[in-house]
Amino acid sequence: MHIVGSDEITKQFNAFLQQSSLVVIDESNLYDSKSVDTLKMLSGNRKIKIEKKGIDTFDVERHFNFMTFSNREVPAYINTQERRFTFFKTDIPLTATCSILNMSIEEFIDNVKSELELFFAILLNTKTEQSWENMNIKNGIFY
């Protein structure tokens, strides 16, 4: 997982994408067409171009998805007909959620990280499976 600012997805050098399973855009600022078009291209193609400093570009399979987070009322200017994006509006501040759960923000984030690791393990192990019905569980991990 890589946590980046929205400006990093439009930069020329993008080697971090090659090693990513999840790219988290913190405080997304997707207000210009270049940012939105880049995000569409990166999320909608099976192969992407990787460019490292001093090395020619090369194509790789895309094995990552995006999540973006923003405190803005309108996190991005995207056509309402666009089907590649889903937005969730949350009105409960993280501090209130943590208070209800009786845990610190750090504990909450650690819990989310551990759940994401299990979630991605499930995804990786289900690529060849036809349905969840064929999955076996051993020690909390799907096989």
Give the integer Cα–Cα distance in Å for 10 and 40: 11
Confidence at residue 143, expressed as pLDDT on a 0 to 100 scale: 43
Give the integer Cα–Cα distance in Å for 36 and 44: 12
Contact 15, 77 (CB under 8 A): no
- Confidence label for 49 from pLDDT (cuts 50, 70 and 90): very high
Task: Please write the tens of the pLDDT for every residue from 66-112.
Answer: 888 887 777 777 777 777 776 766 777 888 888 888 999 899 888 88
Confidence at residue 51, expressed as pLDDT on a 0 to 100 scale: 92
Give the integer Cα–Cα distance in Å for 25 and 7: 9
Higher pLDDT, 25 or 91: 25
* SS3 state of residue 23: strand
User: What mean pLDDT is reported for the chain?
Assistant: 77
Give the integer Cα–Cα distance in Å for 121 and 87: 24
- Confidence label for 32 from pLDDT (cuts 50, 70 and 90): confident
Give the integer Cα–Cα distance in Å for 93 and 99: 10
Confidence at residue 137, expressed as pLDDT on a 0 to 100 scale: 52
Residue 107 has a CB neighbour count (10 Å cut-off) of: 12
